[in-house]
Amino acid sequence: MLEDSDGAFFLSAYARRDRLVLLGDFSYSASSKDGLVPPGVPAEGRLHQRSLRLATGLCVHQDERIAVDLLAGLRHWSVDYRDRGTRVDATLAGPLIGASWRF
């Protein structure tokens, strides 16, 4: 799998101030493959994937040992696939609801 990877990148950020929590991350990966498929026909394909997540929330409980955050935000995915005769672009976005527990 790593030999087909053209590159990947991941960035994550997390910030807190008093009870306010902010987080976000971005990922990107690209891979490609070429070769022969039976009966010896050349084939090649490329895949690019991107995702972005942004959320904010509040710390609803915190003491010396445990902290609990409730979060809401958005997540966005984008996938681009190409081979010799096909191109597929897909995008999906949706709400994000979650909780974070730290101890």
Kindly report, residue by residue over 57-79, the tens digit of the pLDDT.
999 999 999 999 999 999 999 99
Residue 37 is assigned to a structural domain of this protein = no
**Cβ–Cβ under 8 Å, residues 65 and 103:** yes
pTM of the model: 0.75
Residue range 77-98, pLDDT digits in tens: 999 998 878 899 999 999 999 9
Residue 13 is assigned to a structural domain of this protein = yes
| pLDDT for 39 | 83
Residue range of the domain that includes 18: 2-32+43-102
If one counts the domains in the chain, the total is: 1
**Cβ–Cβ under 8 Å, residues 85 and 54:** no
CB proximity list for 2: less than 8 A, separation 6 or greater: none
Residue 38 is assigned to a structural domain of this protein = no
Strand partners, 66: none
Mean pLDDT of 37-51: 87
